[in-house]
Amino acid sequence: MKRRSFLRGLGLAAAASTVVVPSMVMAAEAPKGPNAFSIDAAVQAITGGKPVVASPKVHLKAPEIAENGAVVPVTIEVDSPMTEDDYVKAIHVFATKNSNVRCADVMLTPANGKAMLATRVKLGTSQDVMALIETSKGEFLSASQNVKVTIGGCG
C-alpha cells in the first residue's frame, strides 16, 4: 500500500505542476513598474555615463517591415581589426519600446576573429532596434533602425 500511495502522490504532484507552472510564467513575462528598464536607463547601466557615438563602423541590418514581431531577424557587424589592442568587447541589442528593452548581450574577444552577431528579437510594436557596441578602448558606438511590426510579437 505504501508504494501505491507514493505513486499516486507523485502523479498528483506532476499533474499539479503542469497546471500551476505555466500560469506563473505567463504572469512574469512582461515586467512593469520599477523592474521595467527604459532605453536610457539600460544604456546608462552599460556605459556608466560615457558618451555613445553613432558610428558608420556599426552595420545594423533588420527588416523595415516585420510581418511577425515575435521573430525579427537582426544582424550586426562591426568594422574592427579584432587584434589584442583593438577589438569589440561587447555587442548589446535593444528594442527601444519593449517593457524589457534589453534583447541580447554578447561578449567577444580577439579570438572571435570577426565582430558579428545574428539573432532574432521579439518586438511588441513598431519601434527602433538599437545596437550598442563596447570597444576594448572604452568607446561606445551605436546604430539603430526602425522596424514596423504588422503583427505584435508580445500579444
- The answer as to whether 154 is a domain residue is no
Burial of residue 63 (number of CB atoms within 10 Å: 0-12, 13-18, 19+): middle
Q: Show the domain range for 26.
A: 1-30
Residue 155 located in a structural domain? no
Residue 118 lies in a domain: yes
Residues 122 and 51 both lie in one domain: yes
Q: Is residue 117 part of a domain?
A: yes
Q: How many domains is the chain built from?
A: 2
CA distance 52 to 46: 11
> Same structural domain for residues 100 and 140?
yes
Residues 5 and 80 in one domain: no
pTM of the model: 0.75
Q: What is the mean pLDDT of each run of 10 residues along the chain (155 residues)?
A: 71 57 38 67 95 97 94 97 96 94 95 96 95 97 96 60
